Amino acid sequence: MLDKKVVELLNQQVNKEFYSAYLYLDFSNYYYDHGLDGFGNWYKIQAQEERDHALLFVQYLQNNGERVVLEAIEKPGVELSSPKAVLAEGLKHEQYVTSLIHNIYAAAQEIKDFRTMQFLDWFVKEQCEEETNADGLVKKFELFGDDPRSLYMLDSELGARVYSAPSLVL
């Protein structure tokens, strides 16, 4: 049986991960609407990853006999003003998600909930990767985004991304 506070935070994270999927789908739509299909593909796959992250939290709660509480998913309220601004919002959002994971980890650590800490270890590592990728996109766009040929190449690179499901064993 998990601690009540930890269960509450894990349930909140389920909903935050679904929101992340919704947000990234909005980003994907923005890029498709602006003819940047590679960027659209990259964020569509990112949305799939976030959905799967939510399902990993669901499975963890279920495996521990806890009730999963789904809430309404808020409409993304991010201003999508330019391709570069969307990337910056993506980085900002990943940093926010990292802080959420750290908060859950801290709550589990405080009560010596080693099982939840071990479960969260994968997400801590994953968030490092997510922030690195988001930061890399911002930097690449800053370097190449103003040059049409370079932007085309970057868009093609992002269009080659394929989905691979997370490999976390619960």
Q: pLDDT tens string for the chain (170 positions)?
A: 899 999 999 999 999 999 999 999 999 999 999 999 999 999 999 999 999 999 999 999 999 999 999 999 999 989 999 999 999 999 999 999 999 999 999 999 999 999 999 999 999 999 999 999 999 999 999 999 889 999 999 999 999 999 988 776 66
**Measured between alpha carbons, how far is 35 from 156 in angstroms, rounded to an integer?**
12
Report the distance separating Cα 24 and Cα 131, nearest Å.
Answer: 14
* Residue 142 in tokens: 């800053």
> For residue 165, what pLDDT is reported?
80
Q: Please answer whether residues 83 and 130 qualify as being in contact, where contact means their C-beta atoms are separated by less than 8 angstroms.
A: no
Within 13 Å, how many C-alpha atoms sit on residue 134's CB side? Answer: 24
pLDDT at position 166: 77
pLDDT score of 89: 98
End-to-end CA distance of the chain: 16
Tokens of 136: 């890399």
User: Does the pTM exceed 0.85?
Assistant: yes
